């Protein structure tokens, strides 16, 4: 495993039972100081029991003051930022999405990455080093892969990623994104009766024969690679980690 000795890493959604906690484990094993930010206090407590060295912060990262509080808890300036936290509404089309769901999804999926990036980029630039990895989705590469709000938010993450890569590379900063397909030990969306509207179901009928859901650690390992010096020439990439979903 590549090393991250001396690096301070902040991971949003870091206590999630799938990829978030995997990322925390990889970074701890690589020697980094890790800050895990998550909305779930029970998940954070479990994470802290497993990794006592991790700084665990419960926060609503859609709020600027909460972002500032999370960053203030870091033991040193953040060198590597994983914007991983994300939420979704039901898989549905635009006229079915409530304004409340739209704002909630955009707040966590797009506003929060913007807020964290806005705050860490000046320090990264002054030190001449920084790495940002954003979790996008195959829904951010093609339409009709998820709910309207989720899809729009992930397209926004892709745009934010490529803008940062294009404008901060000269400061020694790399910014990339991964675009997972299905992940985790859960039913596929089309198998979950509570996860879509009837019109949303139609969007996903073509996904029935796609590759199986990926174990979270397989997706997390790709994100971890992008954080290491082994990926020093990778910047502005949006890397599908989907087992071929978007090829179908």
Residues contacting residue 48 through CB under 8 Å, at least 6 positions apart: 54, 56
List pLDDT tens digits, range 140-179.
998 766 789 999 999 999 999 999 999 999 999 999 999 9
* Nearest of 173, 76, 89, 163 to residue 124 by alpha carbon: 173
| Beta strands across the sheet bearing 80-83 | 55-58, 33-38, 8-12, 80-83, 130-135, 173-180, 238-241
Pairing label, strands 173-180, 55-58: unpaired
Q: Select which of 150, 171, 225, 248 is catalytic.
A: 150
Share of the chain above pLDDT 90, in %: 77
- Scanning the chain, the segments in alpha helix (DSSP H) are 19-29, 41-50, 64-72, 99-106, 112-127, 148-168, 198-204, 216-227
Domain ranges of the chain: 8-240
What are the backbone dihedrals phi and psi of residue 165, each rounded to the nearest 5 degrees, phi first?
-60, -40
* Nearest of 103, 100, 121 to residue 111 by alpha carbon: 103
pLDDT at 189 over 90: no
- The DSSP secondary-structure symbol of 137 reads -
Residue with tokens 């174990």: 215
Q: Give the three-state DSSP class for 55.
A: strand
d(CA 153, CA 112): 11
Q: Which CATH architecture has domain 8-240?
A: 3-Layer(aba) Sandwich (3.40)
Confidence of residue 18 (pLDDT cuts 50, 70, 90): confident
Mean pLDDT of the residues in the chain? 90
Q: Kindly list the distances between the CA atom of residue 11 and the CA atoms of 24, 94, 186, 229, 245, in Å, as whole numbers in the listed order.
A: 7, 31, 23, 18, 26
pLDDT at 37 over 70: yes
What are the backbone dihedrals phi and psi of residue 55, each rounded to the nearest 5 degrees, phi first?
-85, 115
Mean pLDDT value of segment 212-227: 92
**Per-residue model confidence (pLDDT) at position 214:** 87
Structure-block tokens of residue 139: 């829904």
**Per-residue model confidence (pLDDT) at position 190:** 42
Confidence of residue 187 (pLDDT cuts 50, 70, 90): very low
d(CA 242, CA 248): 11
**Per-residue model confidence (pLDDT) at position 199:** 67
Mean pLDDT value of segment 188-204: 58
> Among this protein's residues, is 171 annotated catalytic?
no
List pLDDT tens digits, range 67-112.
999 999 999 999 999 999 999 988 888 999 999 999 999 999 999 9
d(CA 182, CA 78): 30
| pTM of the predicted structure, to 2 decimals | 0.90
């Amino acid at each position: 495993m590549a090393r991250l000795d001396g690096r301070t890493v902040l991971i949003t959604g870091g206590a999630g039972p799938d990829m978030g906690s995997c990322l925390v484990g990889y970074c701890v094993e690589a020697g980094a100081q890790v800050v895990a930010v998550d909305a779930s206090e029970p998940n954070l407590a479990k994470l802290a029991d497993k990794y006592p060295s991790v700084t665990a912060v419960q926060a609503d990262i859609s709020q600027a003051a909460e972002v500032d509080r999370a960053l203030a808890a870091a033991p040193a300036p953040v060198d590597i930022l994983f914007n991983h936290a994300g939420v979704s509404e039901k898989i549905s089309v635009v006229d079915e999405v409530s304004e409340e769901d739209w704002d909630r999804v955009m707040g966590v999926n797009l506003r929060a990455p913007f807020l964290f990036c806005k705050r860490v980029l000046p320090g990264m630039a002054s030190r001449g080093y920084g790495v940002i990895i954003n979790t996008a989705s195959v829904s951010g590469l093609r339409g009709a892969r998820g709910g309207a709000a989720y899809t729009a938010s992930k397209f926004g993450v892709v745009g934010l990623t490529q803008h940062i890569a294009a404008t901060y590379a000269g400061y020694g900063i790399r910014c990339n994104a991964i675009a997972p397909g299905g992940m985790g030990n859960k039913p596929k969306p089309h198998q979950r009766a509570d996860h879509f509207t009837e019109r949303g179901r139609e969007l996903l009928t073509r996904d029935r024969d796609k590759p199986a859901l990926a174990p979270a650690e397989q997706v997390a390992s790709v994100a971890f690679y992008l954080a290491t010096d082994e990926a020093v020439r990778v910047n502005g990439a949006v890397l599908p980690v989907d087992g071929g979903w978007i090829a179908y």
